[in-house]
């Protein structure tokens, strides 16, 4: 993708996300509860802690992998492009798949998760100010493409199960490797980006499950009233 086209595409995504934030599916209360889950739930804390530890270990090998990537690319350009596009667009593809009885709950889950992922990812980027391998800017840590794609994979896994989740995680892994291949990120950036995306998707999944539980209970009560009235 040419640089000018990439810039235009990113601006279009920003405009789209601003319009999404204005929709009824994005809620400050939902976001606050989701963020609390990310930092308060044991499994999400462990995911973030593991990501930090592994990222710290990987940091020792960042420049070694960078040097190897200069002499021989870790993947073909075509595969790298697939990863690059998936990292940017996976949320739009996910939103388009929601069509069953839980569509609005799924939209709540996905939209609020992606908004928080953008805020946290870029908040960390501007706090750390790490140079990218290609020195294009100081927003290397963590990888936004990777956090975005692993969040998408976690949402797919939680909604559709392994059948769709495993391919989504494979695509997310390709996205992470493509960022190293394209000299946009170091290995440690990608590892923590992946952990961040999974942690956010897991934290917000608690809210999604709660909404489904409430909806199912409401449906059962209505069904009982209809059946009782009919038999009476």
Higher pLDDT, 230 or 216: 216
Query: Residue 41 above 90 pLDDT?
Result: yes
* CB proximity list for 42: less than 8 A, separation 6 or greater: none
C-alpha to C-alpha distance for 28 and 87, rounded to whole angstroms: 25
Confidence at residue 83, expressed as pLDDT on a 0 to 100 scale: 94
C-alpha to C-alpha distance for 44 and 152, rounded to whole angstroms: 16
Query: What domains, with CATH codes, occur in the chain?
Result: 30-223 (1.20.144)
pLDDT in tens, 22-35: 555 788 899 999 99
Confidence at residue 175, expressed as pLDDT on a 0 to 100 scale: 97
The answer to whether 191 and 175 are in contact (CB under 8 A) is no
* pLDDT-derived band at 219, boundaries 50, 70, 90: low
C-alpha to C-alpha distances, 134 to 56, 94, 117, 127, 198, nearest whole angstrom: 21, 31, 24, 19, 27
C-alpha to C-alpha distance for 140 and 142, rounded to whole angstroms: 6
219: tokens are: 């449906």
Q: How many other β-carbons are positioned within 10 Å of the β-carbon of residue 112? A: 26
Query: Residue 81 above 70 pLDDT?
Result: yes
Query: Residue 8 above 60 pLDDT?
Result: no
Backbone phi and psi for residue 215, each to the nearest 5 degrees, phi listed first:
-65, -40
The half-sphere exposure of 203 on its side-chain side, counting CA atoms within 13 A, is 30
Confidence at residue 229, expressed as pLDDT on a 0 to 100 scale: 43
The answer to whether 148 and 197 are in contact (CB under 8 A) is yes
Query: Residue 124 above 50 pLDDT?
Result: yes
User: What is the average pLDDT score of the chain?
Assistant: 87
Is the link from the previous residue into 114 a cis peptide, with omega within 30 of 0?
Answer: no
Q: Is the dihedral of CA 94, 99, 100, 103 positive or negative?
A: positive
The answer to whether 158 and 208 are in contact (CB under 8 A) is yes
Confidence at residue 20, expressed as pLDDT on a 0 to 100 scale: 52
Q: Is 11 exposed, middle or buried (0-12, 13-18, 19+ CB in 10 A)?
A: exposed
Query: Residue 156 above 60 pLDDT?
Result: yes
Query: Residue 14 above 90 pLDDT?
Result: no
Confidence at residue 61, expressed as pLDDT on a 0 to 100 scale: 96
pLDDT in tens, 163-216: 999 999 999 999 999 999 999 999 999 999 999 999 999 999 999 999 998 888
Confidence at residue 97, expressed as pLDDT on a 0 to 100 scale: 86
Q: What percent of the chain stands above pLDDT 70?
A: 83
């Amino acid at each position: 993708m040419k640089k000018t086209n990439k810039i235009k595409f990113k601006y279009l995504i920003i405009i789209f996300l601003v319009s999404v934030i204005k929709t009824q599916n994005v809620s400050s209360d939902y976001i606050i509860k989701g963020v609390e889950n990310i930092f308060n739930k044991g499994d999400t804390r462990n995911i973030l802690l593991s990501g930090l530890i592994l990222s710290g270990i990987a940091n020792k090998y960042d420049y070694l992998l960078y040097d190897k990537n200069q002499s021989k690319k870790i993947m073909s350009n075509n595969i790298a492009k697939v990863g690059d596009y998936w990292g940017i667009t996976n949320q739009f593809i996910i939103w388009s798949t929601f069509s069953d009885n839980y569509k609005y709950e799924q939209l709540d889950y996905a939209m609020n998760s992606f908004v928080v992922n953008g805020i946290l990812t870029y908040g960390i980027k501007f706090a750390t100010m790490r140079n990218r391998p290609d020195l294009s800017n100081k927003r290397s840590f963590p990888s936004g493409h990777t956090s975005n794609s692993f969040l998408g994979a976690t949402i797919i896994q939680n909604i559709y199960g392994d059948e769709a989740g495993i391919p989504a995680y494979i695509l997310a892994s390709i996205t992470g490797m493509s960022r190293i291949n394209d000299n946009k990120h170091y290995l440690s950036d990608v590892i923590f980006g992946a952990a961040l995306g999974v942690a956010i998707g897991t934290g917000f999944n608690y809210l999604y499950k709660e909404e489904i539980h409430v909806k199912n209970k409401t449906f059962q009560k209505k069904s009982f009233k209809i059946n009782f009235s009919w038999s009476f």
